[in-house]
A and B are shown apart, each in its own frame.
Chain A
Amino acid sequence: MANRVVSVNPHVYAPETTTTIMRDVIIALCPAVVASVLFFGVRSLLVEAVCVIVAVLCEWGFEKICKRPVTIGDLSAVVTGLLLALNLPVTIPLWQAAFGALVAIVVVKQLFGGIGMNFANPAITARIVMLVAFGANMTHWAPAAFSGAPADAVTAATPLSIIAGINGVSAGTNTVADLPSLLDMFLGARGGSLGETSCLALLLGGVYLIARKVITWHTPVAFIGTVLVLTALLGQQPLYQVMAGGLFIGAFFMATDYTTSPPTPAGKLIFGVGCGLITVCIRVWGNYPEGVSFSILLMNILNPYICQWTRTKPFGGVKA
């Protein structure tokens, strides 16, 4: 008689797997990829391709060397590479982009044990490393197409650096008149990283992820909501603040990273509010015009504690 499978229940599973989830994230990032090409040209695709390919190769290579099971099939390295690329300026030298992908996969992810084990978001951490290592290249913003910037301009200010100039935090002679229109902000015709400028594209992706139940609303709503309310209270052009910088991509795609954020709704709310607070502090009082990456990294570090505080209360549980 054929040997029969004997296993513990359940004997059926929901269709989602790690791979289908990562595939959904990639699908959700597609509008942002299209926007990047639209506003920053075809070189965007090159940067994205380099980051994705290097990320996948590093994951494969590292796992081979360490004789671990190869997990590139779960597509998580593709997601990391793509997210990193979307957080880089279009003019970034390709070898620097490749270096960033290597840092993300090898240093931040694999050295901590691979998928599910890293404490910090690989793409964010790699971006911060690059910011420190290649400061000039990382803050060189080419003007976006359709943004009304002079065609021969080689650099453009980002809305946040303009606001920083207005606030007198950084040197600059900008005035409110230099800010792009709110519509341009929403569509993405402004200076910034490849994938962060188009709020519309990111919103589409975010809604898709929520509809597919890949993420819940808690983190993005708490994150964006906190920035909105705080900047309004501080008189800081809240609508600009919300749409500017990497807030949307951070709130929908980076702060929602499973491994580095809490699993419970309460934890997600705390995480989102914390990210929002830190972002506003950095933007308003800090030396950097942008604070989304730092805020998420800081909250990643606090994540184990948030997880501890926000454990669920078991149904019918009695205190010992």
Chain B
Amino acid sequence: MFKGKLHGVHPPHMKNTAGNRPTRMPVPPMITVPMSMNIGAPAKPVVKPGDEVKVGQLIAEAGGFMSAPIYSGVSGKVKRLDEILSSNGRFDTAIVIESDGLQTEYEGLEKPVITDQKSFVDAVRACGVIGLGGAGFPTSVKLNVDPDRVHHIIINGAECEPYITSDTRTMIDNASRIINGAQLLQKYYTADNIIIGIEDNKPECITIMKEAGRGVPGFEVAELPALYPQGGEKVLIYNTTGEIVPEGKLPIDVGCIVINCTTLAVIAKYIETGMPLVEKVITVDGSAVANPQNLIVPVGTPIKDVLDYVGLKAEPRKVLYGGPMMGISVPNLDAPVMKNTNAILAFAEKEAADPTPTACIRCGRCVAHCPFHLMPLEIERAYNERDGAALKALKVNLCMECGCCSYGCPARRPLVQINKLAKGVLNKYNAELKEAEEKKKAKEAARKEAGVNG
């Protein structure tokens, strides 16, 4: 069994906006709401061009079990349904809504009635929430488990990406919502403990959460070292409970549920007020941004509007959804803020320029930095040979693409990119293995049959 510590790196924290209470940005004239914001099936639009909508009104229903409904973040009129190219390179439908600037609340908002675990999960589903830490996994699916299997509920307050402070602000400004959410979870899952993991570079959050959680049965604050990536799900589970999620298993298989602190606050808000997820707190920062700050914006707000509002001091040569370690670079500033967007970072030329890779010097830093003790340098060799068997042995499938290996590589090898490609090679190899096995079985079966007949 694995013992010891998970590794990581120390990128500069750059939490410039931690002291900045989020303010509401003026309503954008137009929002574009993509249907594929969550992992799983896209949502299905229930409005058509010309329809009037209000804040909190359903505009798209969940497209299946692994999906989440979407509500309008503005009041106004549906302009059209667009095909947009999303940041993952796929085409997606988006609902474009022209705002009337009034932000009239939908009159049909109703607080959900919760009586048991099932109705709680239904409420979470209805609220439209997905993993807001960035993963975008529909939260109701995570919570739809047998409560007896849950031993630890872990609230993710380890906002380990540089720059981003939106979860930090949730903990500071909305601690009571997080605690209300925690109490609900405790009520319906009766876990042994409910732990919020926070890194020690956020002492204010630690103090506030300790204070707010006093008296909640089983509630604990786990102070974690500020070593990136504490917020990685498997890392957080190991560092707060000592449990190891084995390859191919889920946190629930080791008795854990991990939920991001902002996700929990959104659920609590919905249960208290009936207002589903329609807006996001985002950190806007980066070397091209004139006035870094935290903003509250409707889901669907174009990045362009956000950057115009905060002001730019340089040409934004690279713009990211999320932080610099795992963020996705966006080519087109018409792209919208999504449910799981927690930051928009804009970088000027100097930070944006891609480094030139040089030859691997086999220094071992990528191995020493990988939280999961993988060997990116060997993975690259195996990938270059398209050696599926070696990639299988090297367990590239476990890579969470956290970026630690590339971050510390003195040769600037694009290791994360290689790992992504290597996963493709491994999948193909596994598929071929399976196919070969099935063929063999079929042959054997045929032979047996022939034997019986003959």
Q: Give A contacts to B, CB under 8 Å.
A: 1-2, 4-14, 16-18, 20-21, 71, 74, 76, 114-117, 258-259, 262-264, 311-318, 320
Complex Cα distance, B408 from A21, in Å, reads 12
List 18 extra interface pairs beyond A10-B324, A263-B367, A317-B247, CB under 8 A. Answer: A4-B316, A6-B318, A9-B324, A9-B325, A11-B327, A12-B325, A13-B409, A14-B11, A16-B408, A71-B358, A116-B359, A259-B362, A311-B378, A313-B373, A315-B244, A316-B2, A316-B244, A316-B247
* Contact B408–A18 (Cβ < 8 Å): no
Partner of A264, one of B352, B353, B364, B417: B364
Complex Cα distance, B318 from A8, in Å, reads 12
Q: Which of B94-102, B103-111, B191-199, B398-406 has 4 or more CB atoms under 8 Å from chain A?
A: B398-406
* Contact B367–A13 (Cβ < 8 Å): no
* Contact A17–B324 (Cβ < 8 Å): no
For window 49-85 of B, CB contacts with A under 8 Å fall at none
Known: A9-B403, A12-B324. A264 touches B367 (CB 8 A): yes
CB of B448 within 8 Å of the partner chain: no
CB neighbours of B368 from chain A (8 A)? 263
Minimum CB–CB distance from A71 to chain B (whole Å) comes to 7
* Contact B359–A316 (Cβ < 8 Å): no
* Contact A16–B373 (Cβ < 8 Å): no
CB neighbours of A259 from chain B (8 A)? 361-362
CB neighbours of A10 from chain B (8 A)? 324-326, 403, 406-407, 416
Partner of B408, one of A14, A314, A315: A14
CB neighbours of A2 from chain B (8 A)? 315, 317
> Could you give 8 example pairs across A and B, Cβ below 8 Å?
A4-B316, A4-B317, A8-B414, A12-B12, A16-B408, A74-B358, A263-B367, A263-B368
Q: Which of B123-131, B168-176, B328-336 has 4 or more CB atoms under 8 Å from chain A?
A: B328-336
Complex Cα distance, B11 from A4, in Å, reads 24
CB neighbours of A316 from chain B (8 A)? 2, 234, 244-247, 372, 398
Q: Which residue of the partner chain B has the closest CB to A11?
A: B324
Q: Give B contacts to A, CB under 8 Å.
A: 2, 6, 9, 11-12, 162, 234, 238, 244-248, 315-320, 324-331, 333, 347, 351-355, 358-365, 367-368, 371-375, 377-378, 392, 394-395, 398, 401, 403, 406-412, 414, 416-417, 420
Complex Cα distance, B357 from A71, in Å, reads 12
Minimum CB–CB distance from A59 to chain B (whole Å) comes to 13
* Contact B354–A13 (Cβ < 8 Å): no
Complex Cα distance, B412 from A7, in Å, reads 13
CB neighbours of A263 from chain B (8 A)? 362-364, 367-368, 375, 377
Q: Which residue of the partner chain A has the closest CB to B403?
A: A10
Complex Cα distance, B247 from A51, in Å, reads 52
Known: A11-B347, A312-B375, A318-B246. A6 touches B331 (CB 8 A): yes
Partner of A115, one of B351, B361, B371, B398: B361
* Contact B245–A18 (Cβ < 8 Å): no
Complex Cα distance, B333 from A11, in Å, reads 18
CB neighbours of B347 from chain A (8 A)? 11
* Contact A21–B325 (Cβ < 8 Å): no
Complex Cα distance, B3 from A312, in Å, reads 12
Known: A5-B318, A258-B364, A320-B392. A17 touches B328 (CB 8 A): no
Minimum CB–CB distance from B116 to chain A (whole Å) comes to 34
Minimum CB–CB distance from A218 to chain B (whole Å) comes to 11
Complex Cα distance, B162 from A1, in Å, reads 28
Complex Cα distance, B360 from A117, in Å, reads 8
* Contact B412–A13 (Cβ < 8 Å): yes
Partner of A14, one of B2, B327, B407: B407
CB neighbours of B394 from chain A (8 A)? 311, 314
Q: Which residue of the partner chain B has the closest CB to A69?
A: B358
CB neighbours of A17 from chain B (8 A)? 358, 410-412
* Contact B2–A313 (Cβ < 8 Å): yes
CB neighbours of A318 from chain B (8 A)? 246-248
Complex Cα distance, B407 from A316, in Å, reads 23
Q: Which residue of the partner chain B has the closest CB to A18?
A: B410
* Contact A317–B398 (Cβ < 8 Å): yes
* Contact A258–B363 (Cβ < 8 Å): yes
Q: Which residue of the partner chain B has the closest CB to A319?
A: B247
CB neighbours of A1 from chain B (8 A)? 333
Q: Which residue of the partner chain A has the closest CB to B406?
A: A10
* Contact B352–A5 (Cβ < 8 Å): yes
Q: Which residue of the partner chain B has the closest CB to A312?
A: B373
Question: Which of A7, A71, A264, A311 has most B Cβ within 10 Å?
Answer: A7
Minimum CB–CB distance from B145 to chain A (whole Å) comes to 20
CB neighbours of A76 from chain B (8 A)? 361
CB neighbours of B417 from chain A (8 A)? 8
* Contact B327–A116 (Cβ < 8 Å): no
Q: Which residue of the partner chain A has the closest CB to B1?
A: A313
Known: A5-B318, A9-B416, A263-B364. A315 touches B407 (CB 8 A): no
CB neighbours of B398 from chain A (8 A)? 314-317
Question: Which of A4, A11, A259 has most B Cβ within 10 Å?
Answer: A11
Q: Which residue of the partner chain A has the closest CB to B318?
A: A5
Complex Cα distance, B361 from A21, in Å, reads 11
* Contact B330–A4 (Cβ < 8 Å): yes
Q: Which residue of the partner chain B has the closest CB to A315?
A: B372
Question: Which of A114, A116, A263, A314 has most B Cβ within 10 Å?
Answer: A314
Complex Cα distance, B357 from A115, in Å, reads 13
Complex Cα distance, B248 from A197, in Å, reads 56
CB neighbours of B353 from chain A (8 A)? 5
Complex Cα distance, B335 from A4, in Å, reads 13
CB neighbours of B412 from chain A (8 A)? 13, 17
* Contact A317–B395 (Cβ < 8 Å): yes
CB neighbours of B409 from chain A (8 A)? 13
CB neighbours of B377 from chain A (8 A)? 263
CB neighbours of B362 from chain A (8 A)? 116, 258-259, 263
* Contact B354–A5 (Cβ < 8 Å): yes
* Contact B358–A314 (Cβ < 8 Å): no
CB neighbours of A264 from chain B (8 A)? 364, 367
